[in-house]
Amino acid sequence: MSQVRVRFAPSPTGFFHIGSARTALFNWLYARHTGGVFVLRIEDTDAARNSEEFLRVIYASLTWLGLNWDEGPTVGVCGGGAFGPYRQSERAHLYREYLEKLKAAGRTYEKDGAIWFKLLGERHEVFDEHRKKTVVKVKNAPAVIDDRIRGRVERTEDEDFVIVRSDGNPVFHFVNVVDDIAMQITHVIRGEDHLSNTSKHVELFQAFGAPVPAYAHIPLILKQNGPGKMSKRDQGALIEEYQRRGLLPEALVNFLCLLGWNPGDDREKMPIAEIIRLFDLPGVNQSNARFDEKKLAHMNMAYLLELSADEFVRRAREFFTRLGGENATAKLALAADPAFFRAVMLLSQPKLKGLEELPAYTAYFFTEDFPVDAKAREKALAKGDPAARLRELTAALATADFASDTAIEETIKVLAAARSLAFGDYQPVARLALSGTNVGPPITGMMRVLGRDRVLARLGRFVVG
RNA sequence: GCCCUCAUCGUCUAUCGGUUAGGACAGGGGAUUCUCAAUCCUCAAAGCGGGGUUCAACUCCCCGUGGGGGCACCA
């Protein structure tokens, strides 16, 4: 069998969202699984709605997700190829050429200044309730699609449709098919919302005498609250939003793979190489899937937890850098001593659900001017004699060994034992004095990272009354 | 309204005629613990309805019902 060629063909008319990303992902997976070619084609035939900004977002999002394209617009290491240009706005000559073929074959006519594609078959008029007007339906030999995911899909009726607008610009159905022919696309993997278009496309392929590609219509992603499919305006829809929030792309990719596909067993978290090995079209589900941000968050945490120390620190720094001047903690963290920054990050890594928690979680490490949470204060000072505990702790830590968490823990335990108290009698007030909150990394690690001077200063400065 | 399509726990899903219907997320309980998480154990939770086919149907067929998509000089 000849080489698989698939394409992802977004139009830069809106922000890049999760459904598009998954379509791109499934195409990419299939190309990688089969050793085929992944083509990126920009469908920018609607001049009025296109924007360069949206185009940049497409490139940036695909790159961030790691969905490298073999052919397409050249961006970084991606792109190039022998079938270009890959933006439809630059392929007008080709569409004219193909239009002539259709005209020569007598398959077009003009109406209202636009050029229409003429279907073959028996015609009859019917009132369309949706459009509130009479339309001409064409009953022809059934267009049969042997869908790789859904099986046999048949459609017996269609309508003639516009292929070139009255302003001279060709329309989606037409350019989509022409480019698939010209770029020798073998498999069309797209959202189920295109299923009803497919008969039109099949008829165009046949009109050109071109081989019809294999189709695979993947189920849609439904919004998590309320009815309907996910759209650009829904919570959690935009890819760049995840990037901004510091979600790990590998977690998002893994999560997306599981929305409509599974390896056939219980495995969920898998390296992408393994997914590529196992992915295939017949394994894709037929039913729509509801987006679940909780599961995504869990996947993200799982990936975060297993990052190596170096990698975690690198990503944390990257995240803070992106926040830049907008965030006070980010500014201070980036300016901090790198070794200290690293220690703070590694202390926090096991406790986080996502990088976006980092600024709030680590703020007090980078400044002495941190707020004290009122509720936490009330809770921490409610029991026992916190003022006494604070004094005792300060005295004990003044001469303690700060080299390791266990050394600090030992010091506090010895102190507690001497007074028939427990570690837990010192922990709340110490945590409050050191961080201003009642949640955070282990107190001993916190002390070790802050160092004796800062710890003693904060404990000494803290006023219980 | 017409056309297409889908249907297992709240959610994502496994099962491809014979299982105590399995896993994951979320939820309840417990263990662990210096807080909060994480982790471990545990509980609760599903075959849309009705007809067939078959010795046997979650699984195959039909009809309902419900969900989703489409019905542009958008893509």
Q: What is the largest CA-CA distance in chain A?
A: 100
- CA A430 to C1' B75 (Å) is 60
Which nucleotide shows the minimum CA-to-C1' distance to residue A352? B37
Confidence bin at A2 (pLDDT 50/70/90): confident
Q: What is the pLDDT of residue A103?
A: 96
Sheet holding A114-117, edge to edge: A108-111, A114-117, A161-164
Q: What is the pLDDT of residue A459?
A: 94
- CA A261 to C1' B43 (Å) is 29
pLDDT in tens, A394-441: 999 999 899 999 999 999 999 999 999 999 999 999 999 999 999 999
A286, A219 contact by CB (below 8 A): yes
Residue A390 pLDDT > 80, yes or no?
Answer: yes
CB atoms within 10 A of CB A44: 21
CA distances A141 to A121, A137, A203, Å, are 7, 13, 10
User: What average pLDDT does range A11-23 have in this prediction?
Assistant: 92
Q: What is the pLDDT of residue A237?
A: 86
Q: What is the pLDDT of residue A35?
A: 97
Q: What is the pLDDT of residue A84?
A: 81
pLDDT in tens, A22-31: 999 999 999 9
Beta bridge partners of A124: A137
Q: What is the pLDDT of residue A382?
A: 86
Confidence bin at A464 (pLDDT 50/70/90): confident
A351, amino acid identity: K
Domain range summary for chain A, segments of one domain joined by + = 5-88+220-290, 91-218, 308-365, 374-461
Q: How far apart are CA A313 and CA A263, in angstroms?
A: 32
User: What average pLDDT does range A145-150 have in this prediction?
Assistant: 94
Our CA dihedral for A358, A361, A367, A371, rounded to 10 degrees, sits at 140
Q: What is the pLDDT of residue A1?
A: 56
Confidence bin at A463 (pLDDT 50/70/90): confident
Q: Which CATH number fits domain A374-461: 2.60.40.420, 1.10.10.10, 1.10.3720.10, 1.10.10.350?
A: 1.10.10.350
Percent of chain A with pLDDT over 90: 82
A156, amino acid identity: T
A437: left (phi over 0), alpha (psi -120 to 50) or beta: beta
Catalytic amino acids of A? 232
Residue A310 pLDDT > 70, yes or no?
Answer: yes
Which nucleotide shows the minimum CA-to-C1' distance to residue A262? B13
pLDDT in tens, A51-63: 899 999 999 999 9
Q: What is the mean pLDDT of chain A?
A: 93
- CA A257 to C1' B38 (Å) is 25
Tokens of A63: 């790159």
Q: At what angle do helices A293-305 and A249-258 cross, to 10 degrees?
A: 130
Q: What is the pLDDT of residue A234?
A: 84
Q: What is the pLDDT of residue A316?
A: 97
pLDDT in tens, A368-383: 999 999 989 988 888 8
Percent of chain A with pLDDT over 70: 100
**Phi, psi angle pair for A320, to nearest 5°:** -65, -40
> In this predicted complex, what is the ipTM?
0.95
pLDDT in tens, A432-451: 999 999 999 999 999 999 99
Any idea how long chain A is?
465
A35, A4 contact by CB (below 8 A): yes
- CA A294 to C1' B20 (Å) is 30
CB atoms within 10 A of CB A444: 21
Q: Which CATH number fits domain A91-218: 3.40.50.620, 3.30.450.20, 3.50.50.60, 3.40.50.970?
A: 3.40.50.620
A237, A18 contact by CB (below 8 A): yes
**Which nucleotides in chain B lie closer than 7 A to a protein CB?**
1-8, 10-15, 22-26, 34-39, 67-75
Would the CA dihedral through A276, A280, A285, A288 be positive or negative?
positive
Q: What is the pLDDT of residue A244?
A: 93
pLDDT in tens, A234-281: 878 899 999 999 999 999 999 999 999 999 899 999 999 999 999 999
Residue A140 pLDDT > 80, yes or no?
Answer: no
Residue matched to tokens 């000072």 = A381
pLDDT in tens, A180-234: 999 999 999 999 999 999 999 999 999 999 999 999 999 999 998 888 998 888 8
- Would the CATH topology of A91-218 be identical to that of A374-461? no
Would the CA dihedral through A324, A327, A330, A331 be positive or negative?
positive
- CA A56 to C1' B42 (Å) is 50
Q: How far apart are CA A308 and CA A316, in angstroms?
A: 12
A68, A77 contact by CB (below 8 A): yes
A5-88+220-290 CATH: 3.40.50.620
Own/partner pairs, A125-132, CB within 8 angstroms, 24+ separation = none
Three-state SS string over chain A comes to: CCCCEEEECCCCCCCCEHHHHHHHHHHHHHHHHHCCEEEECECCCCCCCCCHHHHHHHHHHHHHHCCCCCEEEEECCEEECCCCCCEHHHCHHHHHHHHHHHHHCCCEEEECCEEEECCCCEEEEEEECCCCEEEEEEEEEEEEEEECCCEEEEEEEECCEEEECCCCCECHHHHHHHHHHHCCCCEEEEEHHHHHHHHHHHHHHHHCCCCCCEEEEECCEECCCCCCECCCCCCCCEHHHHHHCCCCHHHHHHHHHHCCECCCCCCCCCCHHHHHHHCCHHHECCCCEECCHHHHHHHHHHHHHCCCHHHHHHHHHHHHHHHHHHCHHHHHHHHCCHHHHHHHHHHHHHHCCCHHHHHHHHHHHCCCCCCCCHHHHHHHCCCCCHHHHHHHHHHHHHCCCCCCHHHHHHHHHHHHHHCCCCHHHHHHHHHHHHHCCCCCCCHHHHHHHHHHHHHHHHHHHCCCC
